[in-house]
Amino acid sequence: MDSYKQQVIELYNSRTAYDQEEGTRHPRDANFLLESVPIEKGQKILDIATGTGLVAIPAAQKVGSEGYVIGVDMSVGMLHQARLKVEATGVKNIELIEADANYLNFSESSFDAIFCCEAIMFLSNIPASLQTWYRFLKPGGFVAFTCPPETAYMAPVYKSICTKVLGISIPHIHEPYGTTEKCHNLLEQAGFRNIEVKIEPSGRYRKLRGDGASWKWINLNFKGNPLLAKLS
């Protein structure tokens, strides 16, 4: 496990109340992904970087007892929160695995759909990951993910916030998927067809107060990205 991945794990292990911290933003994005794919009873779903199960748990409910969902994440803290939610909801057709998304070893044509919500930018080799997901999919299957485009609150500022506020350096933020064209090309090169890329405005504006109208004030006094769009 390299130092970059250790940073990611430590960051998310420290977020012991993730759903409360995120508010409605992450659940909204998870629902957006779930609605973008025609999930049916009996299907098998893979959720990459499942976190607290915001995609995996409702997906398990959608596929029913005949279907199955596997959620993978590197963070023990995130998986602990997900397991508490699974227990509370009584969902039985879901398996949560502590694993590095770069080293998954599922058989080809294993899944009807693969999701990755809010996390593809953390993967150390995005093109290779997409190629792997393509192999994991059954013919006619779907991949759906969200990611921040270059228009989201200015890429340099977002990268600075990750470094200074969250204490983590994301080496390839917005690359190679930062525009609709880049995202489309990335998926096409991985073998995908019938590609649809949408920019979905989300987030909120914050009012600036007096001499607080500076990048320094903005960088240090918010949780999450106050002006965020999503590519999916």
Task: Tell me the whole-structure pTM to 2 decimals.
Answer: 0.80
CA angle 11, 17, 19 (to 5 degrees): 100
Cβ pair 116, 49 in contact under 8 A: yes
Cis bond before residue 176 (omega within 30° of 0): yes
Contact 183, 177 (CB under 8 A): yes
Contact at 8 Å (CB) between 70 and 46? yes
CATH superfamily placement of domain 3-146+177-204: Vaccinia Virus protein VP39 (3.40.50.150)
Q: Closest Cα to residue 157, out of 225, 100, 103, 109?
A: 225
Contact 193, 107 (CB under 8 A): no
Residue-by-residue pLDDT tens, the chain, 232 positions:
577 788 778 878 888 888 777 677 788 889 999 999 999 999 999 999 999 999 999 999 999 999 999 999 999 999 999 999 999 999 999 999 999 998 899 999 999 999 999 888 888 788 899 999 999 999 999 999 988 777 665 455 556 656 665 565 665 554 667 788 888 998 999 999 999 998 877 655 555 555 444 434 333 333 333 333 334 3
Q: Domain coordinates of the chain in residue numbers?
A: 3-146+177-204
DSSP annotation string for 147-196 = B--TTTTTHHHHHHHHHHTS----TTTTTTTSSHHHHHHHHHHTT--S--
